[in-house]
Amino acid sequence: MFSPQAVKWGYQISLQERLFHDYTKRRKDKTLDPNLILLTENYRSNKKVLQFSSDMFYGGELSSGSEQPLHPRLGPIVFYSALGKEEIEQRHSSYRNLAEVNEVVKRVKELTDSWPDAEWGPKDLKQVAVVSSYRYQVLNRDLIIVNL
């Protein structure tokens, strides 16, 4: 190891070596599953958003390393419902639901129109992400962009 800083941080030992030593230690402790390593610190989510996931899916084990401020009006997490019908076209192997696409357009517009400059800085649409479980629905992103 040539870097004193890397040695200071413990990087003179490879990841495989560290995992092997951790596995050996976890195998001795009968309360731990040696094949399961839970990553418990998240740096991308707001504390309140992460708390929901932590409580619902991780037994309260997750912690947040982020200080991302909340939207003052929309809060940490909001659920919306969009009634519609899944459809599939012959040339695609994925579904879409246009009611969901339209709801996303409406909500992204609501977010961008009420962008909290004081908390988040100047409006930057590259910081907005929309996630969909349907690939074909993502292909309708032009509909979203046109309506913004």
Cα 75 to Cα 123: distance, rounded to the nearest angstrom: 18
pLDDT of residue 57: 87
18-53 pLDDT, tens digit per residue, is 888 888 888 888 887 878 777 888 887 888 888 888
Cα 119 to Cα 49: distance, rounded to the nearest angstrom: 17
Domain span at residue 11? Answer: 1-37
Cα 133 to Cα 94: distance, rounded to the nearest angstrom: 10
21 and 82 in a single domain? The answer is no
- Tell whether pTM > 0.75: no
90-131 pLDDT, tens digit per residue, is 777 778 888 888 888 898 899 999 999 998 999 998 888 777
61 and 92 in a single domain? The answer is no
87 and 25 in a single domain? The answer is no
> Which residues, in sequence order, are bridge partners of residue 71?
75
pLDDT of residue 140: 61
